[in-house]
């Protein structure tokens, strides 16, 4: 069973927490190891969804129960504040990726070091945004037959510019040199 600390905004697995902190308590009352507040029990299987709250004009993420789709919690936050809880949520599920409304967030651990495609971190963020833009555009309803091809050409050209930046710096690992 999983628990959530509202104060620390962290998830805890009850079995791991009991072993790690040597708790010998009833599972009904578990306190946060950091702030000593009561932990809130979370349903056995939950999903996280990312969206935009038009009332507050902020990015919002919600966690809901997979069984009856009841809302467990909703948080309005800036984009910088959303990343850490999502990464913590992925880690608490012991998964390598998470799908948020069609956007897949992966935990590959490659952001700290050099990317396999030779892009540095900032260039990698731009490349990831281009890929997300393409994936989002493909889901839109077509207004003109040529718009998909035109958008694809624009994305391809932007990717080529990023590729040239890599070639101007140095050949990335795995690229064949002439």
Q: Where are the alpha helices (DSSP H) in the chain?
A: 14-20, 79-92, 121-138, 147-169
5 assigned to some structural domain: yes
Structure tokens at 26: 């009833």
pLDDT above 50: residue 111: no
Q: Give the pLDDT band (50/70/90) at residue 113.
A: very low
Same domain, 161 and 130: yes
pTM: 0.31
Regarding whether 49 and 85 lie in a shared domain, the answer is yes
Q: What is the mean pLDDT of residues 39-63?
A: 71
Same domain assignment for residues 157 and 136: yes
31: domain range? 1-42
Distance between CA atoms of 106 and 83, rounded to whole angstroms? 12
Kindly state whether residues 37 and 25 are assigned to the same domain.
yes
Compute how many other C-beta atoms are within 10 angstroms of the C-beta atom of residue 104.
11
C-alpha 39/C-alpha 36 separation (Å) is 9
What local confidence, expressed as pLDDT, does residue 110 receive? 39
pLDDT in tens, 2-32: 777 878 877 777 667 666 665 555 555 567 7
Residues 99 and 142 occupy one common structural domain: no
Range from 31-35, 63-67, 94-98 carrying the lowest mean pLDDT: 94-98
Whether 154 is in a domain gets the answer yes
SS3 label, residue 53: strand
49-64: average pLDDT: 72
Do residues 78 and 38 both lie within one domain?
A: no
């Amino acid at each position: 069973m999983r628990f959530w600390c509202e104060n620390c905004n962290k998830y805890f697995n009850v079995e791991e927490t009991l072993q790690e902190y040597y708790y010998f308590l009833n599972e009904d009352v578990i306190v946060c190891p950091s702030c000593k507040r009561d932990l809130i029990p979370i349903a056995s299987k939950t999903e996280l969804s990312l969206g935009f709250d038009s009332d507050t004009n902020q990015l919002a993420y919600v966690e809901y129960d997979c069984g009856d789709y009841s809302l467990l919690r909703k948080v309005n936050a800036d984009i910088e504040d959303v990343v850490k809880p999502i990464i913590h949520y992925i880690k608490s599920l012991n998964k390598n990726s998470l799908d948020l409304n069609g956007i897949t967030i992966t935990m590959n651990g490659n952001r700290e070091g050099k990317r396999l495609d030779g892009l540095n971190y900032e260039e990698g963020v731009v490349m990831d945004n281009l890929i997300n833009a393409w994936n989002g555009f493909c889901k839109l309803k077509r207004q003109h037959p040529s718009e998909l091809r035109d958008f694809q050409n624009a994305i391809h050209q932007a990717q080529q510019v990023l590729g040239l930046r890599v070639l101007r710096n140095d050949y990335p690992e795995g690229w064949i040199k002439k």
